[in-house]
Structure 1
């Protein structure tokens, strides 16, 4: 792995779901890795366990903080060797794609587009026109957060060989001897599942 590569991840704000991945990228690339937070969280997500931790890490650039930070963010979109675009303004994505020369790689990180609750209201021709334009850039790829996302982008004629599975990467906790002893005593392990039961998922 080349340590002189510039890798930038754009999203609305940094949270615990993305932190393990960002820490790993920071370990690999050092100062060459940046996370660009494009908006300051209003704290609404804290109750759901989504805390904005953008200002707690040195690899973060908060583009909303000042004009200088905004200029740095746009420059990163233009000059980085690898760009990952999540929930962020389209200007960063378009700036990255426009400057995707040589071996530069641009990844769009996306959940599904056509969710049942409003899918019928989406203007398909607008998406098709934009995607048809983007498909011309051979260094543009999709990081699919769920199989439905890949299916939606296929409807927009994105080549299947440019789609990759993507998700959150939580820290793996290692069990100690005491934990193993509990498993031995309880031959039938108990499993707790927690999540939101959303009808469109």
Structure 2
């Protein structure tokens, strides 16, 4: 069996599994995912599967024979996709010594601003790039619309950065017209959902302020909030202070499959995170399930996935007034909102699906191995612009 492409990362997660499965099929089983670490118990407890008996998964941490196999694959496989964890860096160096095509996928580097450069996980790869790798077949897959801009600040990966992302399961695209039944339920109630950990940079208080604005403007609505975290008490206090208990419902954590079902029964997903949101796979999931995303402009996935007013709604990062007005517009223009939902699902099914991403990745790898340019003008594997 000839192995044509490998992905090497810390551990396999649900956002990588669908893409990997597609790559295994499209390469006639010539794909392997290399897992360098055992998945932490904290992730297992939160619902991550452990993926036993997956034919394309090699667990380097499990045995010496597996580790030896990994060493050979790293040197001999034509194309390697490298995850953004520190443990991968030594394998990148080994490959590039042999001039083997290597694509590193990464979220944005400066989530906290320029202070991130003090992190060894950022600083060391930049130094290695300039000392050893800048003239090698080394490219960047941007799992955030801001990764290319961050890398350009250090002069790295000029004209060598491509749009990428995360490609979670998108079963909702198969559900045809039933996805849009919420737009015709006859209740006149605008149904909003939020899915996030209640953390400072997720800004859940903005969601409550938006709910207050809708209530004060006589909009009939329900906001279902899913998730928990350190700012949950603040959210509860704001709900009580604004007397929103009849409009805002806290559900805590529920399984991801149930989240997908809820998306089919809500008009929109509200997503308020700041620039620390590397990608935000919940955007893919909502769009696939015909749920209109109203998202902040600096979330990593938003500029790649959403064209404002065409397949979703983008509000200026941190601007409460802009959020309030755009959410209000959606609430009172249900017909237009349904059009956004349909176009959102079309975007995911035709351009940003795991299958399409896998196809494009193989085409891009073939082009780069033959010293050609990417054939794609937009979407995954097209050149990443500087934002």
**TM category, shorter:** 0.7 to 0.9
Secondary structure of the equivalent of 1:147? coil
Three-state SS of the structure 2 residue aligned to 1:14 is: coil
Alpha-carbon distance in 1 for matches of 2:182, 2:125: 53
Q: Which residue of 1 aligns with 2:89?
A: 90
Aligned partner (choices 42, 51, 75) of residue 44 of structure 1: 42
Greater CA drift, 181-190 or 28-37? 181-190
Tell me the residue number matched to 1:110.
106
Alignment length (residue pairs): 194
1:25 corresponds in structure 2 to 23
Q: Which structure has greater helix proportion?
A: 2
User: Do the aligned partners of 1:10 and 1:37 also contact (CA within 8 Å) in 2?
Assistant: yes
Query: How does the TM-score come out when normalised to structure 2?
Result: 0.45
Counterpart check, 1:153 vs 2:151? yes
Alpha-carbon distance between aligned partners in 2 of 1:71 and 1:191, rounded to the nearest angstrom: 51
**Residue matched to 2:185:** 185
1:131-151 CA-to-partner distances (Å, cap 9, x unmatched) read 2121110x2100111133222
| Mean Cα deviation higher: 191-200 or 64-73 | 191-200
| Equivalent position of 1:57 in the other structure | 54
1:67 equivalenced with 2:59 (yes/no): no
Post-superposition CA distance 1:42-73 (Å, at most 9, x none): 311134443432x3311001011111100111
Tell me: CA distance 1:128–1:9, structure 2 relative to 1, closer, same or farther (3 Å).
closer
1:78-113 per-residue CA deviation (whole Å, 9 max, x = no partner) reads 11111001034322111221222xxx4210111223
Residues 164-179 of structure 1 mapped to structure 2, 5 A cutoff: 164-172=162-170, 173=172, 174-176=174-176, 178-179=178-179
**Counterpart for residue 218 of structure 2:** none
Instruction: Tell me, in whole angstroms, the C-alpha distance in 2 between the residues paired with 1:130 and 1:169.
Output: 29
The answer (yes or no) to whether the contact 1:62–1:69 under 8 Å persists in 2 is yes
Q: Check the 8 A contact 2:117/2:123 in 1, yes or no.
A: no
* Aligned partner of residue 128 in structure 2, secondary structure: helix
Separation in structure 2 between the aligned mates of residue 178 and residue 108 of structure 1, nearest angstrom: 39
Q: Is the 8 A contact 1:43 1:51 kept in 2?
A: no
In 2, the alpha carbon distance for the partners of 1:125 and 1:90 equals 12
Q: CA RMSD in A?
A: 2.7
CA contact (8 A) 1:43 1:52 kept: no
Question: Residues of 1 paired with 2:13 and 2:158: CA distance?
Answer: 30
Native 8 Å contact 1:11 1:85 kept in 2:
yes
Give the Cα separation in 1 of the matches to 2:3 and 2:44. 34
Query: Is the Cα–Cα contact under 8 Å of residues 139 and 157 in structure 2 kept in the other structure?
Result: no
Distance 1:147 1:179 in 2: 28
1:80 partnered with 2:81: no
Distance in 2, matches of 1:153 and 1:75, equals 30
Q: Please, which runs of 5 or more residues in structure 2 have no aligned partner? A: 202-274, 277-387
